[in-house]
Structure 1
Amino acid sequence: MGNLAVSYAGAGKVELIDTPYPEFELKDGPGVHPANIGRQVHHGVILKTIATNICGSDQHMVRGRTTAPEGLVLGHEITGEVVEVGRDVEFLKVGDVVSVPFNISCGRCRNCKTGQTGICLNVNPDRPGSAYGYVDMGGWVGGQAEYVLVPYADWNALKFPDRDQAMEKILDLTMLSDIFPTGYHGAIGAGVTVGSTVYVAGAGPVGIAAATSAQLLGAAVVIVGDLNEDRLAQARAMGCETVNVALGDPAEQIEQILGVPEVDCAIDAVGFEARGHGHGAATEQPATVLNSIMEITRAGGSLGIPGLYVTGDPGAVDEAAKVGSLSMRFGLGWAKSHTFVTGQCPVMKYHRGLMNAILNDKVSIAKNVNATAISLQDAPKGYAEFDSGVAKKFVLDPHGLIGA
């Protein structure tokens, strides 16, 4: 049996390739860490992919902004049906429909045992933390494919209580693998609570998920900033205030909304490919968002930073940024006693609660991010459209199950 999958084919390109059907053993391939080759995965399951999403983090690789090797199978946002269970799996059964956190974690190390599943110590020989289909993350094969292997499945997979209910809400539930928990993590890190005024930098899917999360947590006002008017319109449609940072730094526009040029807390949902504000909007300035959210967040406030920052960026604007060194005004953050919360979201910390919010109609994340299902064959077109800045979250449907 084959396994059609989406792979990175060089800067600006993805292509569909035929790959082997998954086995309960890690094989050699693009991006696979040599120490992981031959690793036995009897604790895993094989999923028939129901939904697998195109993520902004994938776009960083596809733009050629990382050291991702050509041929790497992409995709870390996975929802699927169990079709095979490994010898050591106890609690999952064939036919179960599950959400898979993008973090791969073992459930056994000291970090996993304290809920820090984004920095598991046992799944990536190079560094703490791992993910499917991602550069320098251990080489676990990505899930933008017809079938995918999920290790430590009893620990990693979140089983939906009812298959029919799950399929009815699949466009919402597919967001549990990454962007909804990631946006929520940003809001939690920023200290959002009832009555907060919140600024979210970035109106892409993670930014919209962060804004949705801030609303869910009881924020009084959520302000979303971006350069893209279509995406800002999407934010307004879900009840947010907006600022267009192409017109200048957000403080003045925030003052027009709130009466003061500051917010209680802020979320960076942009990351290292940030552009300047105002006249600098045409140029890449990777520390822009970090500096601006320090300026506009009140003294004593918190900054949630789920936006991706990397240690290696071959396409960076200067030599320092190529190794993740940014011209950040850390002294300003220190002077204002800001709290910074960074790093991969530990999806497992939040996904069950967010699942319950979806299943009980407390939130409409798919509507807010404009979830749009397309076929696996249309993935290259979806990547190109997403890169152009459309206000959509593309959900790949490898087996036509969403359309059905």
Structure 2
Amino acid sequence: MSQANRGVVYKGPGKVDVESIPYPELALGNRKCDHGVILKVVTTNICGSDQHMVRGRTTAPSGLVLGHEITGLVVECGRDVEFIQPGDLVSVPFNIACGRCRNCKEGRTGICLNVNPARPGAAYGYVDMGGWVGGQTEYVMVPYADFNLLKFPDTDQAMEKIRDLTLLSDIFPTGFHGCVTAGVGPGSTVYIAGAGPVGLAAAVSAQLLGAACVIVGDMIEERLAQARSFGCETIDLTQDGDMADKIEVILGEREVDAFVDCVGFEAHACGCNHGKEAPATVLNSAMSLTRAGGQIGIPGLYVTEDPGAADEAAKQGALSMRFGLGWAKSHSFHTGQCPVMKYHRPLMQAILFGKVKIADAVNVQMITLDEAPQGYADFDGGAAKKFVIDPHGSVAA
């Protein structure tokens, strides 16, 4: 029986609205989706990646239902779902993965070959990611449920820590993945570019992995203060001066062992030119500031098409990088979507057993579905908060 449903809808550059949308069906186009479930959304988060679309920096069409960070209660299961049941509280990886293709079987769920006709990889509510309906909604359909979903072992326990567990759908695994691919380990010195939610999640992840010193750079003091609140060193990128000098003041050395780019393609130049967009500036800084033989993790988003870019090359995702320096220093670079399923279970355990307080680190702010447009506006203005939508008032209750 059809029910009411509402969601956050992209209406064009700078504008989102909360609108009535169709209640989800267990269907993929004209065929049944017997391997899927319908969720009553408990929490769904606003992501920096969503902001790229809302700013008009992608080819996202008007009318797209947003949201790829989803935690929900199962209310209906398809005929072929065996291990997930109605009433289960689950975390949804933002990557949609079939579990059957070569890449999924290798654990590369961020580049599943079967869920997006345009290219490898899919996500909910995101441009060029397969056309899947997003989850900043009251209800959403999730395919391949047995493979994709992480069931929380105890619903009451999970609800007590839902502000933390909601971050398992994307930013906590993404930040952790950035650190793992940058080679962070016990005793490492680490530079995190960007103190947005993913950057802060990466900073916490570096600490969890045993880093000796975590340095976070950003242009917004409120976000830098948030990084300092859990023990990070910080660098204000609006201030003039050589970055290696600033690193040396903190470490006594001019380079770090590991560098994590949590900014992506909308990066701005540092110092006196910080108001000018310079999409390759973080990547070039990474090569300058990472020791020879070090690793660079790049969870920050880079796009193939950027209509709002400053020059024609950048509009096609072509950036002016000093790649020869990275080659000369034998750097390793790791790009692409985080394969959330590789990390979400152990990170869940870290949360449930009190080893990490990720919600405090990224400063989770709960809002209602109707407050989502204001949440987008505040986040775009640089608020040092991670906005989490509570569509049914489940968390508030």
Fold match (TM-score > 0.5): yes
Aligned to 2:385: 392
1:286 paired residue number: 279
Measure the CA separation in 2 of the matches of 1:158 and 1:114.
Answer: 18
Separation in 1 of the partners of 2:328 and 2:217?
24
| Distance in structure 1 (CA, Å) of the matches to 2:300 and 2:355 | 25
Tell me the TM-score normalised to structure 2 length.
0.99
Once the two structures are superposed, the pairs formed by residues 161-310 of structure 1 within 5 Å of their partners are 161-248=153-240, 249-310=242-303
359, 367, 381: which one aligns with 1:374: 367
**Aligned match for 2:33, one of 31, 37, 41:** 41
Q: In structure 1, the residue corresponding to 2:136 is in which secondary structure?
A: coil
Match of 1:23 in 2: 25
Q: How many residues align?
A: 394
The corresponding residue for 1:365 is: 358
Counting aligned pairs with the same residue, the percent is 71
Give the match for residue 82 of structure 1.
74
SS of equivalent residue, structure 1 residue 46: strand
Between the aligned partners of 2:105 and 2:339, the Cα distance in structure 1 is 12
Unaligned runs of 5+ in 2: none
Paired with 2:343 and 2:222, the residues of 1 have a C-alpha distance of 29
Q: Secondary structure at the match of 2:27?
A: coil
CA–CA distance in structure 2, aligned partners of residues 214 and 41 of structure 1: 39
The one-letter amino acid paired with 2:229 is A
Amino acid at match of 1:346: P
In the alignment, what sits opposite 2:10? Answer: 8
| SS of structure 2 residue aligned to 1:321 | helix
Mapped contact 1:225–1:250 kept (Cα < 8 A): no
* 1:39 Cα offset (Å): 4.2
Other-structure match for 1:67? 59
Quote the residue 2:309 is aligned against: 316
Name the amino acid aligned to 1:360. Answer: F
d(CA) in 2 for partners of 1:230 and 1:186?
23
Q: C-alpha distance in 2, partners of 1:384/1:38?
A: 37
* 1:114-173 deviation line (CA, Å, top 9, x unaligned): 000000000000000000000000111000000000000000000000000000000000
- The match for 1:120 is 112
1: CA distance between counterparts of 2:265 and 2:10?
20
One-letter identity of the residue aligned with 1:20: P
SS in 2 for 1:181: helix
- Secondary structure class of the residue paired with 2:245: helix
CA distance in 1, matches of 2:31, 2:210: 45
Q: What CA distance in whole angstroms lies between the structure 1 residues aligned with 2:245 and 2:377?
A: 34
Show CA shifts across 1:224-253 (max 9, x none): 000010000000001000001111342211
Q: Distance in 1 between matches of 2:244 and 2:75?
A: 52
Cα distance in 2 for partners of 1:25, 1:207 equals 36
Cα deviations by residue, 1:162-215 (Å, 9 ceiling, x for unpaired): 000000000000000000000000000000000000000000000000000000
Q: 1:40, CA displacement in angstroms?
A: 2.8
CA contact (8 A) 1:221 1:240 kept: yes
Q: Which runs of 5+ in 1 are unaligned?
A: 27-36
Segments of 4+ moved more than 4 angstroms: none
Give deviations 1:23-80, integer Å, cap 9, x for gaps: 0113xxxxxxxxxx32431100000000000000000000000000000000000000
Q: Is the aligned partner of 1:355 residue 2:348?
A: yes
Deviation (angstroms), 1:293: 1.1
The residue identity in structure 2 corresponding to 1:2 is A
Counterparts of 1:139 and 1:250, CA distance in 2: 41
